[in-house]
Structure 1
Amino acid sequence: MGKLNLKPAIYVILIILILPSIIGDVTSYFGYHNKEDVRAKMKSHLYQKYGKEFMVDRIGTRSSRGQVFYQARIYPKAIIGSKKQWDDYYYASATVDKLSYGRLGEVGDSYSYVARNIDLEKYLLPQVKSQFGERVLLKVDVEHKVTGDGSWWAGYKSKSLKEMRKEVNNDPEHNRIELNLDVYVFDRIENQTEKEKRRKDIFEFVQYLKDEGFFEYLELGIIFVDERVLAPSYEDFKYEIKNTYQVKEEIDEKEVVLPPMKLRKEFSKKLQKEIDEMSQKELVEKINQIKKSNANNLIENNGQKATYIYSWGMIKEKYSSSIEDRDRNRDYSKLKHVRLGNNLKYIYKN
């Protein structure tokens, strides 16, 4: 009787044993899902969490520490067609892990930060308008920080002012609010009397923030922007300023580089005429068209005066290397603590 040839049987057994692994690797690589599966899962998660429909686009894959995941840009469907569309201030991201065998993990998102900023902006806006007038623009960046033992603080994804305040009130030792707030006031200051009034407005607003519990970790900018930036011909002016030659001038005993005086006077007069012909409603509508993500670009040549206020807690947290003795004593309990400085690159000539 001849010997049995066991090789074919062994091969079959080996194939049976390794086939699931091969199939798993293949399906893990190719997946049972496509971008529409990812989009659907993210949309479902966002609707359940925030109670509204979201747009999910720019879906792509990323990897971190060996884990591959999908990442997408997200924003509420409701902002389509509004001035908020294309403004990065209102956009966030969502991620979902790409698991083995074509499965998708749990969805995570960063829209809670956007929602929290919007919530606080709505809360602060009435007081800001009461203090500084209707022609204002707010840019809010608020963080809810948590800690274990106080040696480190990490961001927490609370999605509303109410939720954030509840956590802070229940456990202030392990929760805190850090607020970075910029207030753009579209109204230039004409004389010393107006300047003193605005200093008082700023002081009173800081006291309001103290009463509301937003001062302990606060970084506040109040920027007075020349309203001529709202004039219809401003974009033409901006283009000429950008492309013209610059000249040296001495302002407040400092040398700065500015566009030629003739051009500055010409456009200042022209833009002022246009502003005089606009109603308050038209000016406010123009402010509402400004993208918050680009608001800081208005300051360099259009900002007339500004103050930047830092609480002692924020200085220690973020700017400890630049602490000065005066910072320890400036708690903004007195009007004299509020300073309103000039922007040396302000280009308008009345």
Structure 2
Amino acid sequence: MKRIIKSIVIILLLLLTACGNASEEKAKKMLATHLKERYGEEFDIRWGGRDGYSTPSKKVAWFQFDIVPESYLGTNKLYDKYYDCYGTVMIRKKLFGEKLETPRDTYSNVLLKEQANEFYVKKLKELFGENVLPVLEVTGSFSVKNKSFLENVELTEKRRKENNNTPLYIEGGIYIFGRVENDADREWYRKQIYEFVQFMKQTGTFEYVAMQIKILDERCLTDYFDRNKLELLEAKQKYTTSKDYLEFREKFFKKCNNEYEQMTQEEKNIKMDSFNKGEFNDYGTNTYFSLYHMGLTSPKFKDSEPRDKSRRKEYNSIADVQLLNSVKIMYEEYYRADNGDIIEK
């Protein structure tokens, strides 16, 4: 009998020793294996550690780490928060210690955003020329088996209906580099934006949209602009009327013009690719070289915001495309009408 009890004690001690607490090293290895199997590429598992919270009924714990695809190393993506992602390994409490659960990650969110950018950029270039930069923030389901953005749109909608999952959201911004020097230019952009909205409707993606569209001065792609853009920022503080600021701005961009005219398309592409996308979607980052802008929100999203129903637009006509002068808005020379539109004084 004593021998049996002794054996049971030894087994229990071995179980307790074998289980113990989940280690950070094991969590990193499990996460690295998961990422390699799911995406077929190597990842650098970086900063992080154990975290969790407690409730009266349970304790929840996990390991979380910043993850970086090795393909990002040596590129602009490495320090761009637009591409930030992390991996999580849940910890389950067991009778004799802890067990690491199947890992999860948010790299799929980054891939979904890139899919959306690639999907829309083809139509954007057809409508506006080569100098366009979509920087979309997309929330939805992603499967590595789906090779197109529309397939993942369908997957998101399917899961929403079956499991009441989070619906698709297409936010962020579309940036068009060009010039608006007269009313004819402005009307041309309105027409092209209207055509882009019709494309989104035809592809079944417009109902998920709440984004901004901005027309930026194409000469901001020059090195001269980069070297001297502080002058534009200081001018915003110096001049108290839009007229004075516009005169300064016109002279400033004329100095950029010669360099811009000599740039090749490849040089322009390199400059657009160099932008920090995470910062670019921050409204204040590019306001000082924005020419016109508009918010593009589907009626579906407006329906969920009772205060904004008066501004609900179907975009069935070009009249619904309202481009606002960024410089004049900056100097508050507009007022808001009863229907929510902004009208020049």
What TM-score bracket applies, with the shorter chain setting the length? 0.7 to 0.9
Query: In 2 relative to 1, CA 76–245 (structure 1 residues): closer, same or farther, beyond 3 Å?
Result: closer
Match of 1:152 in 2: none
Select the residue among 85, 88, 97 that pairs with 1:92: 85
Deviates further, 174-183 or 213-222: 174-183
Give the structure with the higher percent helix.
2
| Equivalent residues of 2:50, 2:61 under 8 A apart | yes
Partner AA of 2:155 in structure 1:
E
Query: In 2 relative to 1, CA 222–28 (structure 1 residues): closer, same or farther, beyond 3 Å?
Result: same
Please state whether the residue corresponding to 2:103 is helix, strand or coil: strand
Select the residue among 221, 224, 230 that pairs with 2:212: 221
Match of 1:236 in 2: 227
Query: In 2 relative to 1, CA 58–302 (structure 1 residues): closer, same or farther, beyond 3 Å?
Result: same
| Equivalent residues of 1:47, 1:54 under 8 A apart | yes
Select the residue among 307, 311, 318 that pairs with 1:322: 307
Q: Does 1:284 align with 2:275?
A: no
CA distance in 1, matches of 2:266, 2:184: 26
Partner AA of 2:326 in structure 1:
N
C-alpha deviation, 1:321, in angstroms: 4.5
Q: Deviations over 1:198-233 (max 9, x none)?
A: 111000000000000011121132211112222113
CA distance in 1, matches of 2:90, 2:251: 58
Match of 1:76 in 2: 69
Partner AA of 2:40 in structure 1:
G
For residues 267-346 of structure 1, the aligned pairs below 5 Å read: 267-297=252-282, 298-317=285-304, 320-327=305-312, 330-344=313-327
Query: In 2 relative to 1, CA 266–18 (structure 1 residues): closer, same or farther, beyond 3 Å?
Result: farther
Partner AA of 2:267 in structure 1:
E
Match of 1:255 in 2: none
Partner AA of 1:333 in structure 2:
N
Match of 1:6 in 2: none
Please state whether the residue corresponding to 1:246 is helix, strand or coil: helix
Select the residue among 144, 152, 174 that pairs with 1:164: 152
| Equivalent residues of 1:131, 1:205 under 8 A apart | yes
For residues 129-208 of structure 1, the aligned pairs below 5 Å read: 129-144=125-140, 156=141, 158=143, 160=146, 161=149, 163-167=151-155, 173=161, 176-208=167-199
Query: In 2 relative to 1, CA 77–345 (structure 1 residues): closer, same or farther, beyond 3 Å?
Result: farther
Query: In 2 relative to 1, CA 345–104 (structure 1 residues): closer, same or farther, beyond 3 Å?
Result: farther
Unaligned runs of 5+ in 1: 1-8, 145-155, 253-257
C-alpha deviation, 1:289, in angstroms: 0.8
C-alpha deviation, 1:305, in angstroms: 0.5
Partner AA of 2:27 in structure 1:
V
CA distance in 2, matches of 1:89, 1:165: 20
| Equivalent residues of 1:246, 1:260 under 8 A apart | no
Larger radius of gyration between Structure 1 and Structure 2: 1
Match of 1:40 in 2: 29
C-alpha deviation, 1:28, in angstroms: 3.7
Q: Does 1:49 align with 2:34?
A: no
Query: In 2 relative to 1, CA 242–337 (structure 1 residues): closer, same or farther, beyond 3 Å?
Result: closer
CA distance in 1, matches of 2:231, 2:271: 21
Query: In 2 relative to 1, CA 301–346 (structure 1 residues): closer, same or farther, beyond 3 Å?
Result: farther
Partner AA of 1:193 in structure 2:
A
CA distance in 1, matches of 2:185, 2:252: 24
| Equivalent residues of 2:172, 2:281 under 8 A apart | no
Given the two structures, how large is their TM-score scaled by the length of structure 2?
0.78
| Equivalent residues of 2:46, 2:68 under 8 A apart | no
C-alpha deviation, 1:110, in angstroms: 1.5
Match of 2:105 in 1: 109
CA distance in 2, matches of 1:346, 1:131: 26
- When the two chains are superposed, the root-mean-square deviation of aligned CA atoms in Å is 3.4
CA distance in 2, matches of 1:245, 1:138: 27
Please state whether the residue corresponding to 1:333 is helix, strand or coil: coil
Select the residue among 246, 256, 267 that pairs with 2:237: 246
Q: Deviations over 1:134-187 (max 9, x none)?
A: 11111122223xxxxxxxxxxx55565354344367688557533225210111
Please state whether the residue corresponding to 2:315 is helix, strand or coil: coil
Query: In 2 relative to 1, CA 211–162 (structure 1 residues): closer, same or farther, beyond 3 Å?
Result: closer
Identity of aligned residues (%): 25
Please state whether the residue corresponding to 1:84 is helix, strand or coil: helix
Partner AA of 1:78 in structure 2:
S
